[in-house]
Amino acid sequence: MVNHTQLTKSISLEKYGIKNAKINYQLSPEKLHEITVEKKQGVTSASGALAVNTGEFTGRSPKDRFIVKDDVTKDKVWWGNINIPFDSEKFEKLYNKVTDYLSDKEVFVRDSYACADADYKLNIRVINEHPWTNMFAYNMFLRPTEEELKDFTPEWTIVNAPGFMADPEVDGTRQHNFAILDFTRKVILIGGTGYTGEIKKGIFSALNFILPVYKNTLPMHCSANVGKEGDTSIFFGLSGTGKTTLSTDPERSLIGDDEHGWTAENTVFNFEGGCYAKVINLSQEQEPEIYGAIKKGAILENVIMNDKGEVDFADTSITQNTRVSYPIYHIENIRVPSIGKNPKNIFFLTADAFGVLPPISKLTPGQAAYHFISGYTAKVAGTEDGIDEPLPSFSACFGAPFMPLHPTKYAEMLSQKMKEAGVNVWLVNTGWTGGPYGVGSRMKLKYTRAMITAAMDGSLEAANKDNYHIHSVFGLKQPRTCPNVPTEVLSPRSTWNDDEGYYKTAYKLSNSFRTNFKQFEEFANQEIMDGAPNKES
């Protein structure tokens, strides 16, 4: 038998309640890849990446994400069906069951940290049942040096046991899978699901509480990059709107693809050490950087390969949410360390499947706050459902499932910081043009890239200065011209060739905005309310 343990130091898990485990501490990604293949939990793809199936769950399960309600959280968390309370004693019991389950097993332990800015560093110990989820932690969290490992004190612990099934009746969960955050014990307990995204979004949720409450820092569900002049851009948006795709730009250094903090010292820092990209329909031609990152060290999830190990990125027979994780250094142009200055441009990305929002528009401060709190994108129903109508989807702060505090807390911080920094805010529709989903088509990536490039280098503003068109329904400042983009693409109405249908749909969406915003009206001032789209007349 090969002894996989290459201890740089020896650790014990007894204090966690895990007894007699065979501990694999801090293994290299190469070793973890090898063990995964040996255990038949994954295979090597033609490009050298590890390919795994995450099992029953191929996405996060927001209904099974809980926060322990105790003295730390009870008065601060915005409780409801996003932040679902969990009893502290029940947590203790379930924790003991999970650690019993891991006792006598082979486990994989990794020390890592979150937050690229040393002042905010959060040390994390990850204890995994599987080698590939431990490798995911290597890819996604920041990697301490040998020196830092010598006297490493973990602050938060993630216990990740995909094979452990809860008994809802006894354990107080909704079903067999769960992800529970305990801010007092500083533990994230994950069971019954092998979806790796729960690991990274668990720490993200913890930071979304810790940073604003204790560190006067705004946590953001956004990607970030920096230009040659040192100008930072950040890109907010819900899943699938283009954060990872658009921040990966050969002309700009990547800070991070998903989670950042904006500090009181006017800096933006990455929480993570890696990227987690969607790979549905990925092409080498359109997204060469991400394509090239899928090599040894990367982990592909739930993709279909032929017998040569070549991936068919168009095959969604396991899930539409096929993914790859890789350490950030798989991308060539990166910022080291992952820290930038105050953003100069902020992009709100939305994949509007109604095809009515302009592909790019400039927002006033009131509109920026309104759209941030709304957090709009659209969901396109799967073809098999027989529904071809897109559904509007609103998620406050473009990331409500990860935000333990009331959305207005984050929105107030963002508004203030945007004013202080004098940033430009742009709303970018990466979704449909020429008609709604089913009729029109997705905005060409090449055009979206050209639009954000023009916004960043100032040429979009220069070309439209006093001549923006004000959208009659959404009130947005719509450029009439943009370098490297055909003029007709800039006006969604003209791409439809059906004015009546266009306005009908635009008002339908504006009504959805207004209905959704009702819950926030009591917190909004006049400036924000003036940022709302028009009512149907």
Half-sphere exposure of 58 (CA within 13 A, CB side): 16
**361 a known binding residue?**
no
**476 a known binding residue?**
no
**287 a known binding residue?**
yes
Q: Looking only at residues 440 through 459 of this chain, which bind ligand ATP when binding is defined by CB under 6 A? A: 442-443, 445, 448
Site for ligand ATP contains 218 (CB under 6 A): no
Q: Looking only at residues 273 through 302 of this chain, which bind ligand ATP when binding is defined by CB under 6 A? A: 276-278, 280
Q: Which residues are catalytic?
A: 60, 201, 221, 239, 243-244, 258, 323
Report which of 180, 183, 237 is spatially closest to residue 209, judged by C-alpha positions: 183
* 258 in Cβ contact with 265 (< 8 Å): no
Cα 68–Cα 72–Cα 78 angle in degrees, nearest 5: 65
Site for Mn ion contains 200 (CB under 5 A): no
Of the candidates 430, 464, 495, 516, which one interacts with ligand ATP according to CB under 6 A? 430
Structural tokens at position 249: 């730009």
Contact of residue 246 among ligand ATP, Mn ion, none (CB under 5-8 Å per partner type): ligand ATP
Place of tokens 């979009």: 460
Q: Looking only at residues 312 through 331 of this chain, which bind ligand ATP when binding is defined by CB under 6 A? A: none
**240 a known binding residue?**
yes
Site for Mn ion contains 322 (CB under 5 A): no
Dist. CA 170–CA 173, nearest whole Å: 8
Q: How far is the CB of 224 from Mn ion (least distance, A)?
A: 12
Q: How far is the CB of 142 from ligand ATP (least distance, A)?
A: 18
With CB under 6 A as the rule, give the number of residues binding ligand ATP: 19
- DSSP element (H, E) containing 461: helix 459-464
Q: How far is the CB of 486 from ligand ATP (least distance, A)?
A: 14
Q: Looking only at residues 113 through 172 of this chain, which bind ligand ATP when binding is defined by CB under 6 A? A: none
Q: Which is nearer to Mn ion, 348 or 513 (CB)?
A: 348
Q: Which is nearer to Mn ion, 135 or 277 (CB)?
A: 277
Q: Which one-letter DSSP state was computed for residue 534?
A: P
Q: Which is nearer to ligand ATP, 144 or 440 (CB)?
A: 440
Give CA separation, 127 vs 124, 201, 311, 487, in Å: 10, 16, 30, 54
Contact of residue 111 among Mn ion, ligand ATP, none (CB under 5-8 Å per partner type): none
> Which region, judged by CB under 5 A, interacts with Mn ion, from 8-16, 141-149, 239-247, 320-328?
239-247
In order, the DSSP letters of 32-70 are HHHHHHHTTSEEE-TTS-EEE--TT-SS--GGGEEEE-S
Residues 234-273: x where in contact with ligand ATP by CB under 6 A, - otherwise, as a string: ---x-xxxxxxxx-----------x---------------
**243 a known binding residue?**
yes
Structural tokens at position 439: 């009729």
Q: Which is nearer to ligand ATP, 285 or 500 (CB)?
A: 285
Where does 184-306 have alpha helices with state H? 197-214, 243-247, 288-293
- DSSP element (H, E) containing 350: strand 343-350
- Closest residue to ligand ATP using C-beta atoms: 242
Q: Which one-letter DSSP state was computed for residue 257?
A: S
Q: Which is nearer to Mn ion, 97 or 243 (CB)?
A: 243
Sign of CA dihedral 11, 16, 17, 21: negative
- DSSP element (H, E) containing 133: helix 131-140
Dist. CA 259–CA 236, nearest whole Å: 10
Contact of residue 58 among Mn ion, ligand ATP, none (CB under 5-8 Å per partner type): none
Q: How far is the CB of 335 from ligand ATP (least distance, A)?
A: 18
Dist. CA 441–CA 423, nearest whole Å: 31
Q: How far is the CB of 479 from ligand ATP (least distance, A)?
A: 16
Cα 323–Cα 212–Cα 528 angle in degrees, nearest 5: 90
Q: Which is nearer to ligand ATP, 244 or 338 (CB)?
A: 244
Site for Mn ion contains 244 (CB under 5 A): yes
Site for Mn ion contains 430 (CB under 5 A): no
Q: Determine the number of helices (DSSP H) and then strands (DSSP E) in the chain.
A: 15, 30
Longest dimension (CA), the chain: 76
Q: How far is the CB of 430 from ligand ATP (least distance, A)?
A: 3
Dist. CA 110–CA 157, nearest whole Å: 10
Look at strands 106-114 and 22-25 and give their pairing. Answer: parallel
Q: How far is the CB of 445 from ligand ATP (least distance, A)?
A: 4
Contact of residue 402 among Mn ion, ligand ATP, none (CB under 5-8 Å per partner type): none
Beta bridge partners of 50: 44, 299
Q: How far is the CB of 223 from ligand ATP (least distance, A)?
A: 7
Q: Quickly count: other Cβ atoms within 10 Å of residue 145's Cβ.
A: 7
Look at strands 376-379 and 391-394 and give their pairing. Answer: antiparallel
φ/ψ (deg, to 5) at 24:
-105, 100
Of the candidates 60, 110, 200, 243, which one interacts with Mn ion according to CB under 5 A? 243
Report which of 31, 3, 2 is spatially closest to residue 297, judged by C-alpha positions: 31
Contact of residue 242 among Mn ion, ligand ATP, none (CB under 5-8 Å per partner type): ligand ATP
Residues that bind Mn ion (CB under 5 A): 243-244, 258
* Binding site as annotated, residues for Mn(2+): 201, 221, 258
* Binding site as annotated, residues: 60, 195, 201, 221, 237-245, 258, 287, 323, 448
Residues that bind ligand ATP (CB under 6 A): 237, 239-246, 258, 276-278, 280, 430, 442-443, 445, 448
